[in-house]
Structure 1
Amino acid sequence: MEKLMFIETGMGIDVHGQDITKAAVRAIKNAIHFNSMPGIRSVLPGNSLDNMVVNVKLAVPCDKDKLDIDTVKEAIPFGKVSVEVMDGGMLTTSGIVIEEKGDKNDKMYIVVASVEVGY
């Protein structure tokens, strides 16, 4: 990335179901949900959102091999998206197993995201 303009952070949790991808997508959406970048086109090369570069960093507590990177990328609506996955986040108890929600155990997955935007 030549020019870093914004860094947005968020957290996502899958309380029931132990789905690391669901927690990661929620973290990304939390990071970008409350932001607007009305002037971004005016500074991007060619004034095109296609030229925006988005680097997503995810701190995940487990199941890195089960993380669906393509689904994670789809959470970002514009730009050239890259995803970096690292150890972090939190694995903790939900306090209850609800089989109807897909629980295999009582663990909840917490993922932390950093979304860097620029060109």
Structure 2
Amino acid sequence: MEVIFIKRYVVEFGYGVDLHGQDVNKAAQKAVKDAISHSCLCGLEEILGVNLDEVIVEAIVAVSRPEEIDEEGIKAVLPIGQKYVKAVKGGLRVPGIKEPQFGDTEDDSIEVAVACVTVSIK
């Protein structure tokens, strides 16, 4: 059996907010987009010669209701690699203002998500 070692190349954090609608997926997608917008992976191709389709990209999202996370929707935000998503309990839910015309469905809360995106190579 061959042992494969995975080495982290980038660890980046981001946060996202759904001001109206109480949607953990919208907040999580924004958090992942925020995290990946802070990184340029040019060293993977230019220095290491790594094919970007072969990197391993893991997104861990912390939201108030992790059981509602649509993993495929989060993966769709990640532009490259073998994609993995994990949702955990966390994030933040704070009072806002309930305006149905803006999409509020449940209450006046604002949903905040935190994401950690890790890019690794074999």
Structure holding more helix per residue: 1
Deviation at 1:28, TM superposition (A): 0.3
**Other-structure match for 2:104:** 103
The secondary structure found in structure 2 opposite 1:39 is helix
The one of 48, 51, 69 equivalent to 1:48 is: 51
Could you report, residue by residue, the CA deviation over 1:64-96 in whole angstroms, capped at 9, with x for unpaired residues? 2321111100110000010111111101111x1
Give the AA of the match of 2:51.
Answer: S
Unaligned runs of 5+ in 1: none
Unaligned runs of 5+ in 2: none
What CA distance in whole angstroms lies between the structure 2 residues aligned with 1:36 and 1:29?
13
Q: Who wins on radius of gyration, i.e. which is larger?
A: 2
Q: How does 1:76-87 map to 2 (within 5 A)?
A: 76-87=78-89
- Counterpart contact for 2:17–2:27, Cα < 8 Å: yes
TM-score by length of 2: 0.88
Give the AA of the match of 1:11.
Answer: Y
**Stretches (4+) displaced over 4 A:** none
- Counterpart contact for 2:67–2:87, Cα < 8 Å: no
Deviation at 1:118, TM superposition (A): 1.1
What CA distance in whole angstroms lies between the structure 2 residues aligned with 1:100 and 1:27?
24
Which segment drifts farther, 51-60 or 31-40?
Answer: 31-40
